[in-house]
Amino acid sequence: MKYVPNDVPEVDKWTEVNLVYESALAQMEARLKVLNSEFQMVHNYNPIEHIKSRIKTPESIVKKLKSKGIEPTIEAMVEHVNDIAGIRIICSFTSDIYRIADLITNQSDLEVISIKDYIKQPKQSGYQSYHMIITVPIYLSTRTVEVKVEIQIRTVAMDFWASLEHKIKYKFEGNAPQYIKQSLIDCAQMVSALDDEMLRLNDEIRKLTEETRTEHP
């Protein structure tokens, strides 16, 4: 069942919305920790470096709705804003990004609504990340509802770049000088090259380790 707030006073609706989205984040964080631990047990390797989560602020939600020409009601918020609840998964290598995305997709009670791969097709700014919108079942006392969560999966290097871009956008209110924008694009290309080289090195180390184990069991 798609999540719709109960027909109660606005203050109570907002309280319920927070509860439902916080529950969705808590459930997804728990699932990811289990997947990471299982991967460590089976493959002796953790694909997830760390996880960040947040609930979008009311001010940010209202701003987003107004930019779309939508009246900022709680019902509109739930219907039209897909990233009220957000999780960012930070990995070491680009191969981990797709591995984790597959693990999430394969969970039978999660539904993938949309995918945007900004790694294979970076934004014009140079931004790279893998985005998924999924729905998570939340079991309330009287009903089960499907709650939308945005998941962003990126490497440590991509996250560092995105953090700097966010600060620059905030500082210049989206109107940074062209030379700064170009420098960011150049840095994004360096980040991509660094991720590729680190992945190559990791694969080479793993290959040498396996060869050593084979020669000296």
Active site residues: 150
Residue 188's CB is within 10 A of a number of other CB atoms, namely 21
Contacts by 45-50 with C-beta closer than 8 Å and gap 24+? 47/91, 47/92, 47/96, 47/99, 47/100, 48/89, 48/90, 48/91, 48/96, 48/100, 49/90, 49/91, 49/92, 49/156, 50/90
Structure tokens at 79: 């219907």
CA distance 68 to 64: 7
Q: Which residues of 123-140 are buried (b: 16+ CB within 10 A; e: fewer)?
A: eebbbbbbbbbbbbebee
Query: In this structure, what is the dihedral angle of CA atoms 200, 201, 207, 211, given to the nearest 10 degrees?
Result: 150
CA distance 56 to 85: 6
Alpha helices by DSSP H, 131-177? 156-172
